[in-house]
Amino acid sequence: MTDERSDRRSADSIRPGSAMRNESSDQQLAAYRRSIDNIDAALIHIIAERFRITKAVGEYKATHALPPADPAREEQQIGRLRALATEAGLDPEFSEKFLRFVIDEVIHHHERIREAGGAAE
């Protein structure tokens, strides 16, 4: 026994022009995905550059007996980036979670640098 809705879906998929519509939407989807892939690649490069700089900060802190974490600076950055996220139409809660994740990882790196005597691994 067949379902009338599935019969209509099947009929729609073989109608003239429906293949062109699917091909067109597939091309649009592929274009969106290429854009996302490019943005993802840029994000990775930007994050890598950020970590190269924070590595230097960690070495500086270790050689100058400064603590790995700077809570006042972290809160200042979170506030600044939440405002930027809002201006950009990005959920500030998401941006804060992301930034806190990055900050936690940076602090962890700084702790490892300090334990290694100020030289990054």
Distance, in Å, from the CA atom of 59 to the CA atom of 62, rounded to the nearest integer, reads 5
Distance, in Å, from the CA atom of 75 to the CA atom of 67, rounded to the nearest integer, reads 16
pLDDT at 119: 72
* pTM across the whole model: 0.73
pLDDT at 111: 96
- Are 89 and 31 in contact, with CB atoms under 8 Å apart? no
Asked if the model's pLDDT at residue 14 lies above 80, the reply is no
Question: pLDDT digit string (tens) for 43-84?
Answer: 999 999 999 999 999 999 999 999 999 999 999 999 999 999
Across the range 84-112, mean pLDDT stands at: 97
DSSP letter (8 states) at residue 21: H
Closest CA to 74 of 48, 47, 99, 93: 99
- Are 113 and 62 in contact, with CB atoms under 8 Å apart? yes
Instruction: Give the whole-number percent of the chain exceeding pLDDT 90.
Output: 75
Task: Calculate the CA 14 to chain-centre distance.
Answer: 40
Asked if the model's pLDDT at residue 15 lies above 60, the reply is no
pLDDT at 17: 52
Distance, in Å, from the CA atom of 29 to the CA atom of 35, rounded to the nearest integer, reads 10
Of residues 121 and 28, more confidence is placed in 28
Q: Tokens 């959920």, residue? A: 91
Q: Where are the domains of the chain?
A: 4-115
Closest CA to 81 of 69, 97, 92: 92
The fourth-level CATH superfamily of domain 4-115 is Chorismate mutase (1.20.59.10)
